[in-house]
Amino acid sequence: MKMQSLGAACTVTGSMHLLTLDAAAGGTRQLLIDCGLFQGGEELEARNREPFPFDPRDLDAVILTHAHLDHVGRLPILIKQGFRGPVYCTAPTAALAETVLLDSARLQVEGYRQDVRRARRQGREDEVPPPLYEEEDVHRTVALLRPQLEFGETLRVADISITPQRAGHILGSAYLLIESAQGRLIMSGDLGNRESGLQLDFTPPPEADAVVIETTYANRTHRVWADTLTEFRDALRESVRLGGKILIPSFAIERAQTILYTLKELMDSGEVPRIPVFLDSPMAARATHEYFEFGDELIPPVRQALQNGEDPFRPSTLHVVPTAAESQRINRYDGPAIILAGNGMMTGGRIQHHLKHHLWKPSTSLVIVSYQSPSSLGGRIVAGTDSVRIMGEDVAVRAKVHTIGGFSAHADQDDLLAFLSTAGKPHVWLVHGEVEVMEAFVPVLEQEGMKGDIVPDRETVDLTGPGFPQGRPPGLPTPEGRDTQRSAGGE
């Protein structure tokens, strides 16, 4: 059972794993698990333009674990290069993937146009690479999605059995049990935080020979959920007292819906005053529609609300802001209001003009509910800088900044160990994490009686073979020699 990781190996972004299995009738079968985009800086993003080290036409199938861009974002490139399907996923993943990929195509094209304008002034417009893909390519991709994965139901791809189970990370997220004559393998995808808002817990996995597991937060423990809610409530109350705008930068999938659901709860119970809430992200609005449509997949209070004919994601004061012009108009609205906008790290999107208009006012509150990479605009604000450059202007940071850390949709160390506890004593292969985080997790696994190995970038490993000494592949860069900045793709 061979695997070559072409993303999310020694990093948290660009998830893509090529599995090669022997077929019963001779020859091999190839499955691609996820096909994600690299995000978070030029060096990583350049990898999106690297050719695939396999012929896309040779794949038997692609299987998506969930719809985050760092798990689906290179799919249109695969299709441009000759892959003709099928792409298996759950129904919610198919719905969300369309939204995610259309947004990605739009950003690709906008970025390209901006680069061309800049390059033209230097007479170098011919050197600008074309967008990775455009809307047309996304439509061709969506046509190949087969939303046939159902939790607990086995799908056959030739002589391989694939059984998806609930991963509890975002709507529709699955991990996969892959069974063939060579053994039983679990591909974790991204696993959920058992303490977080909307998702049911992951289903305990069955015994397996090997587990390929994400390790985004394998070195830490999240705050207790009840404490996170209290912290969020107190930040909102204090912000309302200041009387200005309350800016909440948010990722469009899962985080935005968790915040909307929590705001509704806090306002309905009278714990936070009913001030206007502006949802200023078309992508989050579309994703919220899917959360409503597939609400049966979520925690019991959400299902109950839906059965009662309510919308659990709609605080009574919610305004969904469709156009950019209307987004500008919010700034003329007087009095306290909550503005929920993307993107989550404030590096682009509508949150930027809200920051420009309000960050310099002492009455403004900035409530941070998402991870901020140190190099991002949000990261610099969290670090305490007193001025930032936004849309070509220097803006003073006088707003009150609240950082709420407990909203993560990823498993922490306790969650990961709980997940592995029912899998027998499998050989554990570590992906989707920074090297230092994985190095800290290997001895923890050993204490639990499991062999842990870090999956090397782009090299083929034998998942049921002996692995590496001390869990560390030869040639792994030393801590001094690598860029340890976490990238944006870790959602």
Least gap, CB of 165 to Zn ion (angstroms): 16
* Greatest extent of the chain over all pairs of C-alpha atoms, in Å: 71
CB atoms within 10 A of CB 446: 14
- How large is the angle between the packed helices 255-268 and 225-242, nearest 10 degrees? 70
Least gap, CB of 254 to Zn ion (angstroms): 8
How many residues belong to the chain?
491
User: How many residues make contact with Zn ion (CB under 5 A)?
Assistant: 3
Instruction: Say whether the peptide bond before residue 193 is cis (omega within 30 degrees of 0).
Output: no
User: Looking at residue 186, what DSSP letter applies?
Assistant: E
Least gap, CB of 13 to Zn ion (angstroms): 10
Select from 60-68, 85-93, 346-354, 458-466 the region that touches Zn ion (CB under 5 A): 60-68
Give all strands (DSSP E) within 56-209, no chain letters. Answer: 61-63, 87-90, 145-149, 155-157, 160-166, 174-180, 183-187
Of all helices (H) and strands (E), which one includes residue 427? strand 427-431
In whole angstroms, what is the distance from residue 69 CA to residue 92 CA? 14
Instruction: State both tokens at 418.
Output: 């709980």
Least gap, CB of 73 to Zn ion (angstroms): 11
CB closer to Zn ion, 453 vs 491: 491
Site track for Zn ion across 19-58, x = CB under 5 A: ----------------------------------------
Select from 61-69, 93-101, 149-157, 325-333 the region that touches Zn ion (CB under 5 A): 61-69
For 399, residues 6+ apart whose C-beta sits below 8 A from its C-beta are 244, 247, 358, 359, 360, 361, 362, 364, 365, 366
User: Which residue bears the tokens 């960050």?
Assistant: 359
- Using CB under 5 A as the binding rule, the residues of this chain from 158 to 187 that contact Zn ion are none
Select from 44-52, 67-75, 201-209, 362-370 the region that touches Zn ion (CB under 5 A): 67-75
Residue selected from 98, 190, 290, 415 as contacting Zn ion according to rule CB under 5 A: 190
Amino acid letter for position 246: I
Least gap, CB of 67 to Zn ion (angstroms): 8
CB closer to Zn ion, 189 vs 295: 189
In whole angstroms, what is the distance from residue 263 CA to residue 137 CA? 37
Select from 81-89, 119-127, 188-196, 477-485 the region that touches Zn ion (CB under 5 A): 188-196
Least gap, CB of 43 to Zn ion (angstroms): 21
Instruction: Say whether the peptide bond before residue 86 is cis (omega within 30 degrees of 0).
Output: yes
User: Looking at residue 331, what DSSP letter applies?
Assistant: G
Select from 15-23, 65-73, 141-149, 285-293 the region that touches Zn ion (CB under 5 A): 65-73
Site track for Zn ion across 103-132, x = CB under 5 A: ------------------------------
Pair type for strands 452-454 and 427-431 = parallel
| 68 lies in the site for Zn ion, by CB under 5 A | yes
Least gap, CB of 69 to Zn ion (angstroms): 9
Least gap, CB of 8 to Zn ion (angstroms): 10
From the number of C-beta atoms within 10 Å of its C-beta (0-12, 13-18, 19+), residue 320 rates as: middle
CB closer to Zn ion, 35 vs 235: 35
CB closer to Zn ion, 290 vs 491: 491
CB closer to Zn ion, 56 vs 192: 192
User: Looking at residue 237, what DSSP letter applies?
Assistant: H
Q: Which residues bind Zn ion (CB under 5 A)?
A: 68, 190, 491
